[in-house]
Structure 1
Amino acid sequence: MSIHKHQHDEHTQTAERQQIQEPPLYRVLLHNDDYTTMDFVIDILENVFHKTPAEATRIMLLVHRQGIGNCGEYPRSIAETKVVTVTKLARDRGFPLLCSMQKV
């Protein structure tokens, strides 16, 4: 019985020494243009990025005033999916809204 306990202790010690690396995060950005409506941007922020109405309005105004706004930081695959989703929704509605991602 002590042999099994000793083997378990070695495994536990090895696991404690290993460091788990978090996947790199990517910032998803919306870019201002002269055609996409503010209401559509708010809708995107609420439905794709799950922002509250207040958060969505704040980010939309940031995009409008500064030309770019941060929608959130996500692992690469999630960020890519959000960029594709936003782009498709915008094109389906006839808007040229640009959504991009950059490594944090």
Structure 2
Amino acid sequence: MGETQAEIVPVQLALHDNEDVPREFIVDLLGRVFGKSDSEAASVMAAIEKHAMAVCGPYPPSVADALLESARRRISITGHALRITRETAKPCCGLCGQPTAQSEVQLTDRTVWLCADCMLAAAAASLELPEEEFNYAFGVLNWHFADTPRSQLVTTVRQFPGHMRADVQAAIDRLFAAPVRLLGLADDRRYETLSMSRLMQDDNFAVTIAWRTDTGQVSR
């Protein structure tokens, strides 16, 4: 029974900052061993530079052990002094994912952890909510990205293998557990892909904000 319980306890691998280790080597290690994309590896590097460490995971213990062995083998071959430690998964921030969550927030049906920065950002955002109700998607996006030029908005797509979908769903549930404002969309042109450019369209075909009533009908 003890082994079964230990097997289901998630494990994370922590990469610790070392200025003597080339950035290129860490990025290559994240890609070859941990399967990180270029953008994901860049995010991990940013976390290392900001917090002096970053975590990969959580993983099942057997997966974490295999990854750790593979990573340490490559580190040993190259002679770099990169330190990677194995530890029981700690609560990460439900918004930014940093392993520095400090505040436990109780919601209606779950508990989430937030770091200090996200707590401050959430508090500031709640004070800046507009009083008017939005009718179209472009109105919400223009308000949300008011300080960001449209030319700088970037969307990405990633496909996850089947065995990762449960973990991805758990991460999505945490991310949207306490949204500032959760909206539904009603698109008359359902044959088209609902892209970011489509959502920001502000002509006669603008995507309408909608909600579902108790009778199951969609209202706009």
Provide the residue aligned with 1:74 in structure 2: 59
Separation (CA, whole Å) in 2 of partners of 1:100 and 1:81? 13
Of 25, 44, 48, which aligns to 2:10? Answer: 25
1:28-70 deviation digits (Å, cap 9, x = unpaired):
1111112111111111111111111000011012112311101
Of 17, 21, 28, which aligns to 1:43? Answer: 28
1:59-84 deviation digits (Å, cap 9, x = unpaired):
01211231110112111111111112
| 1:47 counterpart letter in structure 2 | R
Provide the residue aligned with 2:48 in structure 1: 63
Asked if structure 2 preserves the Cα contact closer than 8 Å seen for 1:26 and 1:79, the reply is yes
The secondary structure found in structure 2 opposite 1:61 is: helix
Separation (CA, whole Å) in 2 of partners of 1:80 and 1:64? 25
Provide the residue aligned with 1:97 in structure 2: 82
Q: Which has the higher contact order (CA 8 A, sep 6+)?
A: 1
Please, what TM-score do these two structures have when normalized by structure 2?
Answer: 0.36
Give 4+ residue runs of structure 1 displaced > 2 Å after superposition.
Answer: none
Provide the residue aligned with 1:34 in structure 2: 19
Separation (CA, whole Å) in 1 of partners of 2:22 and 2:51? 16
Separation (CA, whole Å) in 1 of partners of 2:66 and 2:49? 23
Structure 2 unmatched runs, 5+: 90-220
Provide the residue aligned with 1:3 in structure 2: none
Question: What's the offset of the Cα at 1:102?
Answer: 1.0
Separation (CA, whole Å) in 2 of partners of 1:70 and 1:50? 14
Question: What's the offset of the Cα at 1:90?
Answer: 1.0
| 1:71 counterpart letter in structure 2 | C
Q: What is the number of residues matched between the two proteins?
A: 84
The secondary structure found in structure 2 opposite 1:35 is: coil
